[in-house]
Amino acid sequence: MPRKFKSGDWVKVRGKLTAPKMQVLKYVPKKDVILGLVDYDTYLECVWYKNGERKSEVFHQNKLIKTIETGGLFKTVLTNPKLCVT
């Protein structure tokens, strides 16, 4: 099966509206229990942050979709600076 994503891509879990935006770290090897073969091109390790804590999990590439929006994993709050004229 061909690889659908590359390291650094932004993805979400397919079909879940509340799924977090995750970043692809790498493809990980997964051994088939029945055949004993190792698959290097199907399972991805993804990372995201929730409440300041780093979460990581392995997903099958068919369960993920690429997101259009890109950017950092942290939400930044920008405030308008107050200008003082003296």
> Domains of the chain: which residue ranges?
1-86
The 3-state DSSP class for residue 26 equals: strand
**39: its two tokens:** 């698959």
User: Which is more confident, 32 or 74?
Assistant: 32
Identity of residue 24:
V
Model confidence at 74, pLDDT cuts 50, 70, 90, reads low
| CA gap 65, 73 in Å, rounded | 17
Tens-digit pLDDT profile for residues 2-17:
889 999 999 999 988 8
Amino acid residing at 86: T
Which CATH code is given to the segment(s) 1-86? 2.30.30
At residue 34, the pLDDT reads 87
